[in-house]
Chains A and B, each alone.
Chain A
Amino acid sequence: MDFTELYDIYADTVYSYIRFRIKDKYLAEDIFQDTFLSVYQKATELKKVRSVKAWLLKIAHNKMVDRLRKNKDELLSDHPAGKETSCMHGQDQLIDGIFINELLNQLDETSREIIYGIYAEQLSCKDMAEILGLPEGTVKSRSYYARARLREWLKEAKDND
């Protein structure tokens, strides 16, 4: 797979992952570019990686952490549900998106990122452990409790309707 092909396939995945955490659109684009610049320079490593998606998101994650050290305020996005070119369409989905966003904001940052990876990107706990640089057991237990809380909140919300 050459670089352009890789970029075409994964640009949305990487951008969406960054936007999930970064509220500033321009900073997100900057980190996005930085990420793919590193990918271009590390292209030889690609043959050795187990999961291309996890490898790309790990690079993106590290770039975000670097920026976090510089300016914490720019991170921790209230996800732009329904804004930009979100995949959501229609009023009901917008309301659902805002609702789910509120639920996510009640989780800590790492759990939120794990939840995003598992649900939105269909990644495994092993992938998320690789991306976040955490032991797989830690990711598993955090995802377990975060998912349980989400289900509980979802159930409460449905009962209240």
Chain B
Amino acid sequence: MINDFKLELIDAYINKELNSKQKIAFYELLKTDSDFKMLFMQEFELHKQLKQLKTQIDDATKARVLQNIYRQNRSQAEVVNAVKNYFINWSLRMAVPSPILPYINNNILRRCLQ
């Protein structure tokens, strides 16, 4: 019967989580306990094989997804600002004759509207 402690010890060794003292104890156990040695060999093989199942995302998809996330997350303030600016510009175009429009100070009008 294999106990949890032995499995956890093997995982810790394979995942490089043991300190020097623990490593010495681990090697000692490998030498003296043949069942532990067998268990270690099998587990080592499983770790090696299952790591190969990992896949990687291709660079183009990775970059595209990141751009999509940023696009979808434009802050609400940005959206409100865009709507506000659109409304101001539209009001200006409606209220002021077009030849004068470039001379109007946008900021002053914006403050008036707010």
* Residue positions of A touching B, CB distance < 8 A: 4, 7, 11-12, 15-16, 19-20, 29, 32-33, 36-37, 40-41, 79-81, 84-88, 93, 96-97, 99-101, 104, 115-116, 118-120, 122, 124, 140, 144, 147-148, 150-151, 154-155
Main SS class of interface, A: helix
List the A side residues contacting B49 at CB < 8 Å.
96-97, 99-100
Contact indicator B46/A150 (Cβ below 8 Å): yes
A101 to B53: give the CA distance in the assembly, Å: 8
Contact indicator B65/A16 (Cβ below 8 Å): no
List the B side residues contacting A104 at CB < 8 Å.
53
A97 to B46: give the CA distance in the assembly, Å: 11
B100 CB-CB contact with A under 8 Å: no
Contact indicator per residue, chain B 55-81, by CB within 8 Å of chain A (1) or not (0): 111100110011011001100000000
24 contacts between A and B (CB under 8 A): A12-B56, A12-B57, A19-B55, A29-B61, A36-B65, A41-B73, A81-B52, A84-B56, A85-B58, A86-B53, A87-B52, A96-B52, A99-B49, A100-B46, A116-B50, A116-B53, A120-B50, A122-B14, A122-B15, A147-B46, A151-B39, A151-B46, A154-B42, A154-B46
Contact indicator B55/A15 (Cβ below 8 Å): yes
Contact indicator B47/A119 (Cβ below 8 Å): yes
B28 CB-CB contact with A under 8 Å: no
A51 to B54: give the CA distance in the assembly, Å: 20
Contact indicator A29/B46 (Cβ below 8 Å): no
List the A side residues contacting B2 at CB < 8 Å.
148
The 8 closest A-B pairs by CB, nearest first: A119-B50, A15-B57, A100-B49, A16-B54, A151-B42, A85-B56, A88-B52, A122-B15
Contact indicator B69/A37 (Cβ below 8 Å): yes
Contact indicator A86/B72 (Cβ below 8 Å): no
What is the minimal beta-carbon distance from B103 to any residue of chain A, in angstroms? 43
